Structure 1
Amino acid sequence: MSLVNQFRSEQPRSALVAPSALVRQTQQRKQHQQWLIYGARLLLVIGVLLFWQFGSGTLLDSSFLSNPLAILHQTIIWLSDGTPWYESTLVMNTAVTLEETLLGLLFGIISGLILGFLFGLQPTLERIFSPFIIVLNSIPKIALAPLFILWLGIEIPMKVVLAAVTVFFLIFLNTLNGVRSVDQHLIDAVRLMGGRKRDVIFKVILPSATGSVLTGLHVAIPYALIGAIVGEQIGANRGIGYLIQSCGEAFNPAGVFSALLVLTLIAALLNAIVNLIDHKTSHWKASLKLSSSNQS
């Protein structure tokens, strides 16, 4: 075999081996960086907890900040003071707050999505109602709580409405912005290919607005919790907000931090669900970016 034929026979093999090795090296490097980030986060949390625990009573005032072991002890007491377990103080109050938050998110998201898409697709409606929406959105939602108490009492519906109103404007404005920012070239391309209005909505506008909607969801989750907690602190006899209020009045910082820990876990769980939805819909955004690049 001549040197030229030998070079030609070996070239595809080397061309295939080199990129695969480079890909493996890149993946290993990313994996090592990810583990380094996880390790740094874990060390940071452990360091803060150790400083908090051993500094409590000396460097830190335990009557205001408590300490991790006291918070853990309070959490265990609240989890074991009911028979069966789901009637314990922490589980029952967490269930109430979680119900209020989820219902507030549900109603706020549905109404915000519907009106956001409707106003985005009908600019005339948006121009008519825009001043009123701006005025209503500028009102602090917490200031509406006494009014909702007068209308609905202090039970769960009042907290649900307060959380839903807070979530609604976040979802509505992000959805409206997402619909407005759709690439007009994509809409024109679908219409040139004979697509109907339904095709434009479901194949272009809806996928394009998904990113803005998910951003609104990430922002809306803590605000839904704020609406539920504030409603419970203003008037309630159960819920995490009620626990925080009662522990604060009893000068029990361990109870306050234990309740805050539960709120943190709820927010983390809801954000994880939104991240999962974002991951599942990422192929929409990738296909739209590819279509936009082809159009340009």
Structure 2
Amino acid sequence: MTTGTVAPKSASSAAFDTAALRERNQRERWLDLLRIWAIRIAVVVAFCSAWQFASGRIFPVFIVSSPTTVVERFGEFMEGGELLSHLAYTMQACGLGFAIGALIGSTLGLLFGIYESISRVIAPFAAMLYSMPKIMLSPLIVVWVGVDLTMKVFVAAFSCMWVIFYNVWNATRRIDHNLLDQFRLMGANQRQIIVGLYLPSATTWLLTSLRVAFPVALIGAVVGEFVASSQGLGHLALDSGQRYDSAGVIVAVLTITLSAMTIDSVLAAIQRKVALWQGEGARG
């Protein structure tokens, strides 16, 4: 009886199989993504249908406006340019507050993490300020800086900076002390240690904290508009509510929500790019 031997696959055949497998996996990922989006769309359609049915039948129209009324109100706000004007004001206050809060929070977090002596002294006070309901300070901030844009920026910055501060502080405190000792043995000065060790280690935590802090800054800006403002989406929602215009309130809330989701998507994309860059740097 003769035994045959199986000839090994050629390089071209193996490459073809690999390409086919990659193409099949990519096709499966696309199909899975389509299924997910189909389910999401079905959920939204079902929710809007139930909402449309309930408005005027189960709940009074002035309490729960129908989706069609919300769309009509959205068109009215857009036609007069009112919605975009309020959105620009809120995003300006939120953006400035977010930038200032990120700068102050990351700087303080880095300093507290690097200099442990400062950390031990200031930590209880930082914990107290972090635990404080920042929004309750809004009336006091009005007394300090007035009711113009500065007040909303102040509330947004003070609200979000503590999220960033604690994340960066924890990141710098978790530095591997063996790596720190190696830097010092190689004669690195403090600036080189900060740039070469602390900053790269804190980057991932910082980006994560930015995604968490942006909605907090947005809430701070909107609350500032609730307290004292004649502009912004917070003012639009409050004014619509006082006129029993639930459709106007929903338009303002949805605009704020969609804006926050858009910014979060941008920050998530930046986070993925930085993670990819860090991975390539580690392999290199």
TM normalised by structure 1 equals 0.86
Letter of the structure 2 residue corresponding to residue 33 of structure 1: D
Alignment-derived partner of residue 294 in structure 1: none
* SS at structure 1 position matched to 2:225: helix
| Deviations 1:121-176 (CA, angstroms, capped at 9, x unpaired) | 11111111111111112211111111111111111101110110001101100111
Runs of 4+ in structure 1 displaced over 6 angstroms?
none
Cα offset for 1:105? 0.2
Alignment-derived partner of residue 92 in structure 1: 85
1:166 equivalent to 2:159? Answer yes
Inter-partner Cα distance in structure 1 for 2:179 and 2:10: 41
Inter-partner Cα distance in structure 2 for 1:183 and 1:20: 41
Inter-partner Cα distance in structure 2 for 1:247 and 1:28: 47
Q: Which shifted more, 230-239 or 279-288? A: 279-288
Alignment of 1:106-255 (within 5 A): 106-188=99-181, 197-255=190-248
Is the alpha carbon distance of 1:188 and 1:289 closer, same or farther for their aligned partners in structure 2, counting shifts above 3 Å? Answer: farther
Inter-partner Cα distance in structure 1 for 2:57 and 2:241: 22
Number of residue pairs aligned between Structure 1 and Structure 2: 281
Q: Given that residues 207 and 284 in structure 1 are in contact (C-alpha distance below 8 angstroms), is that contact kept between their aligned partners in structure 2?
A: no
Letter of the structure 2 residue corresponding to residue 31 of structure 1: W
Letter of the structure 2 residue corresponding to residue 40 of structure 1: I
Alignment-derived partner of residue 44 in structure 2: 45
Cα offset for 1:20? 3.5
Letter of the structure 1 residue corresponding to residue 130 of structure 2: N
* SS at structure 2 position matched to 1:281: helix
TM normalised by structure 2 equals 0.90
Is the alpha carbon distance of 1:284 and 1:126 closer, same or farther for their aligned partners in structure 2, counting shifts above 3 Å? Answer: farther
Q: Given that residues 211 and 264 in structure 2 are in contact (C-alpha distance below 8 angstroms), is that contact kept between their aligned partners in structure 1?
A: yes
Inter-partner Cα distance in structure 2 for 1:207 and 1:283: 13
Alignment of 1:16-31 (within 5 A): 16-31=15-30
Q: Which shifted more, 155-164 or 60-69? A: 60-69
Is the alpha carbon distance of 1:44 and 1:89 closer, same or farther for their aligned partners in structure 2, counting shifts above 3 Å? Answer: same
Inter-partner Cα distance in structure 1 for 2:277 and 2:177: 17
Inter-partner Cα distance in structure 1 for 2:211 and 2:241: 29
* SS at structure 2 position matched to 1:154: coil
1:75 equivalent to 2:58? Answer no
Inter-partner Cα distance in structure 2 for 1:196 and 1:20: 50
Letter of the structure 1 residue corresponding to residue 23 of structure 2: R
1:280 equivalent to 2:273? Answer yes
Long gaps (5+) in structure 1:
82-87, 292-296
| Deviations 1:228-259 (CA, angstroms, capped at 9, x unpaired) | 11111111111111111111111110000000
Alignment-derived partner of residue 55 in structure 2: 56
Inter-partner Cα distance in structure 2 for 1:23 and 1:161: 51
* SS at structure 2 position matched to 1:280: helix
1:268 equivalent to 2:261? Answer yes
Q: Which shifted more, 130-139 or 103-112? A: 130-139
Alignment-derived partner of residue 84 in structure 1: none
| Deviations 1:246-288 (CA, angstroms, capped at 9, x unpaired) | 1111111000000011101210121122112102201244257
Is the alpha carbon distance of 1:288 and 1:191 closer, same or farther for their aligned partners in structure 2, counting shifts above 3 Å? Answer: farther
Q: Given that residues 70 and 248 in structure 2 are in contact (C-alpha distance below 8 angstroms), is that contact kept between their aligned partners in structure 1?
A: yes
Q: Given that residues 208 and 271 in structure 2 are in contact (C-alpha distance below 8 angstroms), is that contact kept between their aligned partners in structure 1?
A: no
Q: Which shifted more, 29-38 or 50-59? A: 50-59
Inter-partner Cα distance in structure 2 for 1:201 and 1:261: 42
Cα offset for 1:23? 2.9
Q: Given that residues 101 and 228 in structure 1 are in contact (C-alpha distance below 8 angstroms), is that contact kept between their aligned partners in structure 2?
A: yes
Q: Which shifted more, 210-219 or 187-196? A: 187-196
* SS at structure 1 position matched to 2:7: helix
Letter of the structure 2 residue corresponding to residue 48 of structure 1: F
Q: Which shifted more, 144-153 or 29-38? A: 29-38
